[in-house]
Amino acid sequence: MKLGQAQLHEETDYLLVATILNQFSELLKTETHLEIPQVYDELTTWDILAMELKEGVTIEKAENFSIDTHNRIIERLVALVLKELFELRVMQTDPNYANFRLYEQSQKVIVFDFGATTKIS
């Protein structure tokens, strides 16, 4: 199996994705500016990922936020990347817009998908 195919297979194995989400939730629990939805392990199967609904807005809607809010959100996303890289030594490698939502008022960043991750030596 080619590398890309192996990664796609891992991203669609929802038992694996649930495990990684739970691990990241534990690793990032002290990060008050981030939220990771709770996984419902008892409802999750190989092809169904059951997790808590989060109601924030999409990143595209952030264009309507103030520049101060933009800056805080960017700071939080960059801090997450640096924490993954230098502290956790594991990084989410699929940072597309669909994997994030935002709470405008609290400026919290919601991260949904850690299915594509890589360990860093």
Token pair of 83 as six digits: 């924490």
Annotated catalytic residue within 41, 47, 68, 94: 94
Give me the sign of the Cα torsion angle 47, 51, 55, 58. negative
pLDDT in tens, 30-69: 999 999 999 999 999 999 999 999 888 988 888 888 898 8
Q: What is the pTM of this model?
A: 0.81
Q: Which of 16-20, 37-41, 99-103 has the highest mean pLDDT?
A: 37-41
- Is the pLDDT at 6 greater than 70? The verdict is no
Q: From 64, 63, 67, 41, select the one nearest 52 (Cα to Cα).
A: 41
Distance of CA 47 to the CA centre of its chain: 19
How many structural domains comprise the chain?
A: 1
Question: In percent, how much of the chain has pLDDT > 70?
Answer: 91
The answer to whether residue 113 is catalytic is no
Confidence of residue 8 (pLDDT cuts 50, 70, 90): low
Q: Which domain holds residue 16?
A: 3-119
CB-CB contact of 38 with 54 (8 Å): no
